[in-house]
Amino acid sequence: MIPVSISYGDWSYKGDLPQSLAEVPFKLLRPVMRELLRPNIDYAYCRIACLLLNIPSKWWRRMPDDVRAQIVGLTCDIGFSAGGPEGLRDSETATPLLEEFKHNGVTYVLAKAEGNNVRCSEYAFADGYLEDFAEDPSEINMLRIIATYAREESYDKELSLKRSDRRVPIYSRDEVDARAKELKGLAPEVATAVFIYAIGLKKFVHDMYAEWLFGGTPDPDDDEPDDEPEPHSDDPDFGWWGIYMRLGKEGAFGNIDQVHQSFLHDVCAYLVQEEVQARRNEKAKPPPNLEA
């Protein structure tokens, strides 16, 4: 938040202006997101300024151009871009902008900040759907991403507490496809908010574990990081699913089905510990004997 003090005529505003979408008050988030999707960038920023500063339309129309330009300038500094979904890339965040939403009378709950309740299979599903969307940015591919992270609220409160997750569990792609069909017609601002979270979580996981698991140090300038774990041998690389199969055979998290339902960060932490030990063992090896 940045402190702002502006006055014109009988209207004045003194308070804090959000610097990111995550700081926008919840009641204003959906209308702000709706404006961000407008193709007319200049008009979008004017509307956002009025929303965030609670400027009545009659006062906005009466303000001199230089005052309006000053206000819009402050809004432009918030840290996100308007002009359709492509303009929202700077707002990618691993903190969900919406904790839940309703669609056709059904409450859908999003995953927690930084993926703290995201399961292994869930992340692998979403990661695959993000790749599909990059190849074919169709509505159904976006809805599959949303349907993975935003799921119906579970009525089993005891199970929700046990799983640290208010959402119904996820087990298969068929479930995702069925949910995606139910989400057709979802408000664009809601769909975009969930999509931003999905991309943000992908980058968060990459930045957290890239140095150890993904074959190199994270590159902040890489728009499309390769966050598939490096294979441990010359065998075919099945990405996340191959890692899960190996862990299922080892039994560290139980069988393969139990691995799929384990928390992603728990599994990644285990994999990092494995890599740390492997590097220590490599360093501890005696130098090769070069004598003939």
Q: What is the pLDDT of residue 221?
A: 42
Side chain identity, residue 51: L
Q: What is the pLDDT of residue 2?
A: 76
What is the chain's mean pLDDT, rounded? 80
Burial string for 176-194 (b: 16+ CB within 10 Å, else e) reads: beebbeebeebeebbbbbb
Q: What is the pLDDT of residue 10?
A: 72
**Mean pLDDT within 171-186:** 96
**Mean pLDDT within 179-191:** 91
Rounded distance, CA 54 to CA 57, Å?
9
Whether residue 225 has pLDDT greater than 50: no
Q: What is the pLDDT of residue 22?
A: 66
Nearest to 204 by CA among 95, 80, 85: 95
User: Which of residues 140 and 59 earns the better pLDDT score?
Assistant: 140
- Band of residue 236 on the pLDDT scale cut at 50, 70, 90: low
Q: Counting Cβ atoms within 10 Å, is residue 102 exposed (0-12), middle (13-18) or buried (19+)?
A: exposed
Whether residue 269 has pLDDT greater than 90: yes
Whether residue 105 has pLDDT greater than 60: yes
**46-95, pLDDT tens digit by residue?**
888 888 888 877 778 878 888 788 777 777 655 454 443 344 444 557 88
- Band of residue 121 on the pLDDT scale cut at 50, 70, 90: very high
> Of all helices (H) and strands (E), which one includes residue 266?
helix 264-284
Q: What is the pLDDT of residue 40?
A: 67
**Mean pLDDT within 126-144:** 89
Whether residue 28 has pLDDT greater than 90: no
Q: What is the pLDDT of residue 289?
A: 67
Q: Which residues contact 141 (CB under 8 A, 6 or more apart)?
A: 129, 132, 133
Among 27-36, 199-208, 213-222, whose mean pLDDT is lowest? 213-222
